[in-house]
Structures are given as C-alpha cells and as structure tokens.
Amino acid sequence: MSKDNTLGEILRKQGVSRRGFLKFCAATASLMALPPGMAPVIAQALEKARRPSVIWLSFQECTGCTESLTRSYSPTVEGLIFDAISLDYHHTLMAASGTAAEAAREAAMEQSYGNYILVVDGSIPTRNAGFSTIAGVSNRDMLLDTARGAAAIVAVGTCAAFGGIPHANPNPTGAVSVSDLIKDKPIINVSGCPPIPVVITGVLAHFLTFGAIPDLDSHGRPVAFYGKSIHDRCYRRPFYDRGLFAESFDDEGAKSGWCLYKLGCKGPTTYNACATTKWNEGTSFPIESGHPCLGCSEPDFWDGGGFYKAISTPTEDIGRTAVYAIGGGAAAGLALGAINRAKRNKAEKEHEQVTIDDLEKGD
Amino acid sequence: MMTETQLLVWLRGPALQVAIAIFVVGVAVRLLEVLVLGRKADLAEARGSAVAGGMRTILMRSFPDRATLQRAAFTEITGYIFHIGFFVTLLFYAPHILLFNSALGISWPALPTPVIDATAVVTIITLVAVLIHRLTNRVMRFLSRFQDYLVWLLTILPVVTGYIAFHRIGVTPPILIAIHIISVELFLIVFPFTKLMHAFTLFMSRYYNGAIAGYRGVKS
C-alpha cells in the first residue's frame, strides 16, 4: 500500500462499500457525541486523509493492549481504518527485528518528522535504565527521542496513561506514565486495561478528521468516550436505585442481574465507554458477565483498596479501632472522673462557715 | 502529590481510623466524666420509682409536646424533620449500611435511592430554614454563639456533599466522595467537644429529670 493513497481509496480496495463507510462515520460521530450533521464531514475528511505514519512503542506492558486492538474480532471498518494507518514501527507486530527494526523507526521519524502519531503502551521505568530496554536503548531515552518529532502522542492503556500495574505499590521499577515525562506535546490518554478497540480508532478518526486532538477530561482522556461513568450508563443501575444488590457471586440476586456494588464494583468512580460500546463486537462488558467493574481506566486502580471491597467501606479495620478507642476512652474518662471527684471532695472539706459577724469584721 | 485514588484510600483508611478514635475516646471521656461525678444522695423518703420515672421521661420526651408545639411550632417541627431526615439518609442508604456492616458486623435493609434522595433534599431545605430562623429571630440570634453556627455547618455539610456526590455535580466522583468523607470525618472529630454531644447526653439529662420527679412521685 502506497503512502500516497487516501484512506477512501484504501478502504474501497479492501472491499468496504460506501454505505458501510458512511455507517461507520455516522457511528463515530454519535460515539464522539458530535451532531449527526458531522457524519458527512468525517466521511469527507477520512476519504481524503493520507495514511498517517504511526510509530508504536511498547515499554513495560503485557501486550494486552495490542491484543485488544488487533485480535478483537473479525475485520470491521474500524479494523480496516486501523490497518490503513501506516504502522511503521511496532516491535510486536513487525516482521523485522533488531537493527532492521530500529532502522525502520528512524526512517519513519525522519520521513514524517513533526507529523507522525506516536502511540505508546506500557509504563516507563525510571529507577534503573536497564529494567526495560529495546535494542539496547532505555525506554526513557527512546520515548524522549521519538516524542520529539511527533505531532501528537496517544498513550494507549492504563500503564502508558497512568503507570498501571508496574506503577502499583510498591512500584519496584519507579514506573511512570508518558505524561509524567513529556510535557510539551499533546497527549491523549486512552486508558483501560486494556482499552476498548473502538475508542482508539475513534481517537484516530477524530485526529484525521479535524487535524486536532479531541476534547480531553482532567485525566487527559477524550471526553467523548470517558465523559460518563460506568455507573451512569450501567444497565444494572435501576437495581442500585431500588436497593437490590447481589450479596455473593452465586446468590439469587447475582442470577437475577442485580447491582454488583456490594461485591466491590467500581462503576461509580470509573469513567469509560464499556457500558455503551461494550466488548467483542458489542457482546457484553464485565458487569454484564457478572463481575464488578475493577475501575481499570482510572489512575492507581490497582491500589484502590481492594477489587472486591465496596467503595463506601473502610479500607482498614474500623471495628477494631473503635474497640481500642472505647478501652482508651473508658480509662481516660474514669481517670478524669476520679480527679474531678477528688477536687470536689477537697473543696467540700475546705468549705468554711462564714457568719454575718465575720463579714462585718472585714469592713 | 497524592492521586485521587490514594486520597480516597487514605480517607477510607487511616484518616477514618483517626476520626473514629477521636470520636469514640471523646464521647467515652465526656460521658464517664459526668457519670463518675455521681449525684448527691436524696435523703428524702422515696414516694415513687426513680428508675421508672427516668425511663418514662427518656421515652416521653421523644414525642412532641403540645405546649411546646404551641409556643415554638417552627423550632419543634423543623427540629423533627431535619433530625429524622438526617438519620434516614445516614442509616438507610445502601452504601452507608455497608459501612456500618463492615465496622459493626450488623446489617439491615436499605431504602430505594430516590427516597433517600428526596429525604436529603428535605433535610437540606429544613436545615437552611433553621439557620434563617436563627438569624432572623432576635432572641435566637442573641442566644447564638459561634459554636451554634459551627455545629449547624458540620451537620449540613455531610448531607450536602453526599447529595452532590450522589448526583456527580462538578468535579470527578472520587473527589466528590473524598469531600463527602472529609465532611463526615470533621463531624466525628468535632462531635465530642461541641453541642453535638447532645446526641448522647440527652438521654442522661432526660433520665435525671425523670428520676428526680419519679422519686418524688410527681409527673416530670
């Protein structure tokens, strides 16, 4: 595929009909909460877009993000658009390795310097450069070097966006997120463990259509996909509102699809599009499969006080604290009471009778 | 810097422990101080049961009194509304019950969230009305000290922050929940050293009042 082909030409070659393409554009517009009138604009822009060069760097990660995006399901328009970008470097997916692979990265950087999109998955170790290297180059150096010529950076997955599991307590490698190291480039955080495939294609489609990064929330995530909490969009929400909760994973409540709040669901504090876009071709999402949301698209979700502990419950043993406090309080109270009694008795003893004569003598 | 999650975990853990410890120690000390001091022996011959009189008064003073209702209808009615509203939202919201269950090991059924939601709104409106009354009524204003306003603020804050956290207005939910927990922890920490102690001492004072009358064989 030549780089000079437009996306429209590439998609038609791949057998995507005009109708299928427009449907994708309409769906993307609605996903990104754009007015329906924007669909033709998206279509027009995507039609004409040249294949953007994408460099994909993988650092301290599990490849789950790449798996999510590439092995999601049978080819769709989103998948083809993803194919239609010029993925010039991705050391998991590319055939080349070693020096040849690094040469491809350097060539891509040189050819589209200032214009390529840098995708990063995985966190970056800072404690020791040797913890994670690629072709002898530390993750930190490779990121800083590659970021220099990037038009924008997409941090894919919670590790790249917020540090993820390598960053979890006690963070042995001193792992940090992309935005911890890079301050002078637009960074789009596509968090999730892994993130939803359509979210990354949506972000790319937005970038190709408008030539700018989408609106981001306070965590640098596209508002279009991370604007609503799982809880607000959850189909089990009516059960929460009615106070009907599953108490265990196999009780009647669980079987009847009641709310999983008591089982530790982090839906109320988690922002992602799972409840609307769902996974595996819209089949379901974790809560629909009967498991509480882990909050995987939020910073520090590994250290959030336990996956199976309800958000409103204490993370420490409050009952024991109260028992000790009662003991301490009782001892202190009795001691103070005894002091007060002694004071009163002493005052009573020192009490002197005063007569009118005594008072008159004082004059 | 602390992230939202770290802040929430800290507030649900160590901060809550400290708040609970201060609350429990403070309440225990203040109650025991009163109890240990004791009362003077009544040398008169008993004409009735002090215990029965005391218990009766603890119970009866929980019901509205006609004479008070006629004299201070606003204070009495709003007093009932915000106290009941406060306790309903505190005790019958499902996430709160989970908290009690994890601390005390006991549980009870929850009310539907729309009911809790409405109760919170009524409680907030009533508390605002109570404050307006305190500010506009000359006698009330004359009697009010800094602590009265502090206690009012500490009472309304958990309801308002809880309501905002439930409806997710403004900042992110972890921050909203964090603010709600902070307001509750402040309430717990200040509680034993202010008029909020009435929640416990009212039973003692009612008992003493009733017991004195009961001993003399008269109505309290």
CB contact under 8 A, A299 and B5: yes
> Is A36 inside any structural domain?
yes
Are A339 and A310 members of one domain?
no
pLDDT value at position B6?
Answer: 84
Determine the residue of chain A that is closest to B162 in CA distance.
A312
Q: What is the pLDDT of residues B157-195, one digit of tens each?
A: 999 999 999 988 888 888 999 999 999 999 999 999 999
pLDDT at res. B1:
66
Residue A151, φ and ψ in degrees, nearest 5? -75, -40
Find the closest chain A residue to B174 by CA distance: A269
Half-sphere exposure of residue B128, counting CA atoms within 13 Å on the CB side? 8
Chain B residue nearest residue A343, CA to CA: B37
Count the helix, strand and coil residues of chain A and give each as a percent rounded to the nearest 5.
50, 15, 40
CA distance B5 to A295: 11
Inform me whether the C-beta atom of residue A335 falls under 8 Å from chain B C-beta atoms: no
The CA distance from A323 to A187, in Å, is: 49
- List, for residues B84-134, the tens digit of each pLDDT value: 999 999 999 999 999 999 888 899 999 999 999 999 999 999 999 999 999
Give domain status of residue A246, yes or no.
yes
Task: Give tens-digit pLDDT for A255-266.
Answer: 999 999 999 999
Considering only CB atoms, which chain B residues are within 8 Å of A218? Answer: 171-172
- Does residue A250 surpass a pLDDT of 60? yes
Q: Binning pLDDT at 50, 70 and 90, where does residue A91 land?
A: confident
Q: How large is the average pLDDT for residues A91-110?
A: 83
Q: Are B158 and B187 in contact (CB under 8 A)?
A: yes
Residues A92, A191: one domain?
yes
| Contact by Cβ (8 Å): A357, B53 | no
| Contact check, Cβ <8 Å, B13/A330 | no
Residues A127 and A192 in one domain: yes
Compute chain B's Rg from CA coordinates.
Answer: 20
Reported ipTM: the value is 0.82
Give chain B positions within 8 Å (CB) of A337: 32-33, 35-37
Pair (A336, A252) in one structural domain = no
Q: Which residues of B touch A305 (CB under 8 A)?
A: 8-9, 12-13
pLDDT in tens, A220-240: 999 989 988 999 899 999 999
> Is residue A282 assigned to a domain?
yes
For residues A346 and B43, the answer to whether their CB atoms sit within 8 Å is no
Q: Which of A32-41, B156-165, B208-217 has the lowest mean pLDDT?
A: A32-41
Q: Is residue A75 part of a domain?
A: yes
The average pLDDT across B137-161 equals: 96
Task: Provide the pLDDT confidence category of residue A44 given band limits of 50, 70 and 90.
Answer: confident
Residues 66-125, chain B, touching A (beta carbon < 8 A): 94-96, 98-99, 101-105, 109-114
Task: Specify the pairing of strand A133-134 against strand A53-58.
Answer: unpaired
Residue numbers in B near A301 (CB within 8 A): 5
Q: The domain containing residue A336 runs over which residues?
A: 330-360
Residue A50 confidence (pLDDT) above 80: no
Is A19 within a domain?
yes
Same domain? A118 vs A235 = no
Reply yes or no on whether the pLDDT at A43 is more than 90: no
- If DSSP codes are grouped into helix, strand and coil, which group holds residue A71? coil
User: Chain B: nearest CA to A266, how far in angstroms?
Assistant: 10
Q: In B, which residues are within 8 Å of A324 by CB distance?
A: 21
Global pTM value = 0.83
Q: Does A134 reside within a domain?
A: yes
- Among A175, A195, A226, the domain boundary falls at A226
Residues A277 and A300 in one domain: yes
Nearest CB partner across the interface for A298, out of B5, B96, B110? B5
Region A174-189 average pLDDT: 95
Based on the number of CB atoms within 10 Å of its own CB, is A290 exposed (0-12), middle (13-18) or buried (19 or more)? middle
- CA-to-CA distance for A168 and A103, rounded, in angstroms? 34
> What's the CATH code of the domain at A267?
4.10.480.10
| First CA to last CA distance, chain B | 59
pLDDT at A1 over 50: no
- Which of 24-43 (B) contact A at CB < 8 A? 24-33, 35-38
A324 falls within a domain: no
- A21-30, A218-227, A240-249, A257-266: lowest mean pLDDT where? A21-30
Mean pLDDT in residue range A191-210: 83
Which pLDDT belongs to residue A53? Answer: 82
pLDDT of residue B195: 95
A24 Cβ contact partners less than 8 Å away, ≥ 6 residues apart: A76, A77, A78, A81
Same domain assignment for residues A90 and A118: yes
Of B194, B197, B24, the C-alpha closest to B104 is: B24
Q: Is residue A1 part of a domain?
A: no
Residue predicted with more confidence, A168 or B6: A168
pLDDT band at A95 (very low <50, low <70, confident <90, very high): confident
Residues A270 and A209 in one domain: no
State how far the Cα of B51 lies from the Cα of B174, in Å rounded to an integer.
50
| Cβ contact B103–A319 (<8 Å) | yes
Q: Two tokens at B43?
A: 């040398």
Give whole-number Cα distances, B23 to A342, B88, B101, B177, in Å.
27, 21, 19, 21
B168 touches chain A (CB under 8 A): yes
Q: Among A52-66, A94-108, A114-128, name the one with the lowest average pLDDT.
A: A94-108
pLDDT surpasses 50 at A313: yes
Q: Across residues A315-339, what is the average pLDDT?
A: 91
The verdict on A185 and A39 lying in the same domain is yes
Three-class DSSP labels, A218-253? CCCCEHHHHCCEHHHHCCCHHHHHHCCECCCCCCHH
Chain A interface includes B136 (CB < 8 A): no
A82 pLDDT above the threshold of 70: no
Q: How many domains does chain A have?
A: 3
A299 with A349, same domain: the answer is no
Interface test with B, best of A315, A344, A345, A346 (most B CBs within 10 A): A315
What CATH number is given to the structural domain containing A20?
Answer: 3.40.50.700
Note whether B58 and B206 are within 8 A (CB): yes
Range scoring the smallest mean pLDDT among A14-23, A51-60, A240-249, B28-37: A14-23
pLDDT at A362 over 70: no
Yes or no, beta carbons of B177 and A330 under 8 Å apart: no
Same domain, A86 and A147: yes
**Of A273, A282, A242, nearest in space to A259 by CA:** A242
Residues of A in contact with B41 (CB under 8 A): none
Go through the domains of chain B in sequence order and give each one's CATH number. Answer: 4-36+64-216 (1.20.950.20)
Q: How far is CA A141 from the centre of its chain?
A: 25
> Facing residues of A156 across strands?
A121, A190
How large is the average pLDDT for residues A115-130? 92
pLDDT at residue A296 greater than cutoff 60: yes
Q: Is the pLDDT of residue A157 over 90?
A: yes
- Do A121 and A261 have their domain in common? no
* Banded pLDDT at A363 (limits 50, 70, 90): low
Q: Which of B25, B96, B104 sits opposite A332 (nearest CB)?
A: B25
Contacts of B52 (CB under 8 A, 6+ apart): B214
Identify all chain B residues contacting A321, using CB atoms and an 8 Å cutoff.
17, 20-21
Last residue of a domain, one of A226, A253, A284: A226
B16 interface with A at CB cutoff 8 Å: yes
Q: Which of A226, A243, A264 is the last residue of a domain?
A: A226
